[in-house]
């Protein structure tokens, strides 16, 4: 399988378990690798034959900005479900970075991998 990726997608949202986190918007950063076959796109040179990373990005921005989950684990799982089910991706890997949520750390978050089998 080939990989279509989105790296460093920053989105603001409400995320966190503490009262003060429920009252502000925080940036999260997404790095996504999506397994897909790009052969048809390479032969036709047409966007309809590939996984459109702009369409994926726009959908995720819309979803994440409207979400208000407490845990990054929940948000990550919902993002993966959208990627796999709505964009017909066989397998994907997501790094969700909540940034400097822990003093002294450059980033914290989760890395998850899912396949179509996880959602059937």
What secondary structure letter does DSSP report for 14? -
Distance, CA of 13 to CA of 5 (rounded, Å) = 22
Nearest to 83 by CA among 67, 96, 94: 94
Per-residue pLDDT, averaged over 68-95, amounts to: 97
Distance, CA of 83 to CA of 63 (rounded, Å) = 11
Q: In what order do the strands lie in the sheet with 109-115?
A: 2-13, 26-36, 91-97, 109-115
Nearest to 101 by CA among 16, 7, 11: 16
Q: How many domains does the chain fold into?
A: 1
98 is in which domain, residue-wise?
Answer: 2-119
pLDDT tens, position by position, 21-42: 999 999 999 999 999 999 999 9
β strands within 14-108, DSSP E: 26-36, 91-97
Query: Of the residues 39, 54, 58, 98, which is catalytic?
Result: 98
pLDDT tens, position by position, 37-50: 999 999 999 999 99
Q: Which CATH number belongs to the domain containing residue 49 in this structure?
A: 3.30.1130.10
Catalytic annotation on 98?
A: yes
């Amino acid at each position: 399988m080939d990989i279509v990726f989105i790296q460093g997608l920053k989105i603001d949202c409400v995320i966190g378990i503490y009262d003060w986190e429920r009252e502000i918007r925080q940036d999260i950063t997404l790095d996504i690798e999506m397994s897909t076959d790009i052969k048809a796109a390479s032969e036709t040179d047409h966007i309809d034959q590939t996984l459109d990373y702009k369409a994926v990005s726009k959908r995720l921005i819309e979803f994440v900005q409207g979400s208000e989950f407490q845990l990054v684990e929940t948000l990550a799982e919902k993002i993966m479900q959208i990627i796999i089910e709505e964009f017909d991706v066989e397998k994907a890997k997501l790094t969700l970075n909540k940034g400097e949520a822990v003093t002294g750390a450059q980033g914290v978050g989760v890395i998850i991998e899912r396949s179509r089998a996880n959602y059937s």
